[in-house]
Structure 1
């Protein structure tokens, strides 16, 4: 498990604030005292709304790891039960409900991913993995209403920002009751593990304070809540999206190269903030990077450090090096140095055409068959004008035929038309 160069802080809570990771807390003085003096059990919930976590989940995941490094005990709660309902917090419309089998399948995938970031075998502070379906799946409606619902007035529930935002557009009773389910999670994690602290994004404040209220009423103990800021990008676009698609932690959904590219393209205005949020570099190291970056922004030293740290953290050092190699090969045009796996990553989503024996090997014919160009006449013009490249080499002969050495790793040939339009030939 890669952790980077984090230095232990004598005042852990102050370091979290210095990194900009603390948005709201309940009873800050008491929480800070407890964190600095004794080991605390804390949790973050992850509802399985897909078969993979994405980088929107990365901040809370890394927060759990930061707490674990300080000797606290993190609890990763997979929402196998709440995932059947859907959290209305800051959502404009009702979530689509999924079947139990799908939610259970997604829950398992999330468990597997979390184990890559949080140490469940740590000798001093092993993390705990829990699933709220274990208690929500078996409690009866009567028991839930008597034991949980009795503790909350409608006025209290209506006062939550996550509910108020949806009143005009409409909210079902199902989603309205979600805060009670999350409050019950906090109660059960206290009963089962002694958990006293819940972390979440700032949109979770209402749900977290409901859990603290339930702990106070049912157990007469003081629970704590800490929220992290919702991440915004300086250019106004949504964090965690690239070309309209989510950036997933699963390498099958977002390749390590695509993942690396997301971070290397971070806006200058965001990059130092993201280094504090998403890496385990010390604040001293980040300050040094910031000074170098400010003196020479064109060096992109901050983006390179960010992309290296986060890609290595999520996918490992080998995949990071691979992503850098793909980037360098594409920039330099040295495409022949790429392996088959690197080609698949670097050209994911690029139009491709499978060549069969019937297609022959003449490049002009293949350009037409693959619809890279619209006609033989256009193919001749492009070749004669030097607009066609095979694996980075300009080809100007209209009689050129693909050779065995043009098949990279025996599987692919990369065609470029003009400056930026790439196509991929694969061989059957």
Structure 2
């Protein structure tokens, strides 16, 4: 039985290096860093002083101010990105098509800021001062729920919560919804706003974040001097559409999504499986799903967190999957510019991956200065590269042993 072909027809993003997808892309290929001083919390309380924050975001540009106050910041990011993606796709959700348009947006943490604020209100003033909107603002699926309400999409409405793989799993799961015929169009991606006292404290205690005080070099994936990831925030949304639907309405097509792999390490709550065994299986699964041979892949947007074990084991996994071709593969970690957007990371990176295919430009890994002998692939150091890209992949690997990989190809 032939599979329904699925394409990307729109993108929208709110990121530390751009409040829309076009600015985000242009800054990524220009090597612009979105990492700066930690300002959303009192940095003096913590051993870290840098983060990748979204600056100058105004939710009232996209929604009524009263409605915005009923949403956590991560949901505001998701709504804004979704509306921009629909506009980019020239798509209006009418009553005729609404039942065939679904939403699948992931978040690793959800409304952490809301949880923190409301817990403080409860502790200081009792339960009566807790907002009646507390629960629907906090829960991770509310990005998907609010996007559905605001856009009128009445198809499947879901949310993948798989830590740092949430955005990638959501896109892969949405792809499969269309492929099996349960929807024609999906609004999908990830959103996260984790720069709060409790989340920062948790990651600091876990010793997962960089203590480098220099914003320009704190996130340095695959570099020998890397010392942890930099927390980021934002959202990325893609419009996935059956090829039949896209052609029928004359939509522009960024790329075709052809493969999805998802595996579990069954190993440890925070550490990746030795030698990236689970990630390697996810990549192989995605290639098999798309009918793609390893040597056909030209670009990999790596998970590349700038942590000791992730970068080393992801490199080992790439060698396991691609063999000698791993050394011919362009591999970059755009977290060097955006920081780590946790549940939104895979979504914003999927946008960069499809743009690499469409524009023939591979974004760089910036801050790459000192090679690590254990990380010896082509990481597209410091400057973007003009190169035709026919097939590209994107990896996301999350706490809990969640591994997810997407494969895109030129349409």
User: TM-score band, normalised by the shorter chain?
Assistant: under 0.3
Higher relative contact order (CA 8 A, sep 6+): 2
TM-score by length of 2: 0.23
Task: Please identify which structure carries the higher helix content.
Answer: 1
Point out the structure with the larger strand share: 2
Q: TM (normalized to structure 1)?
A: 0.22
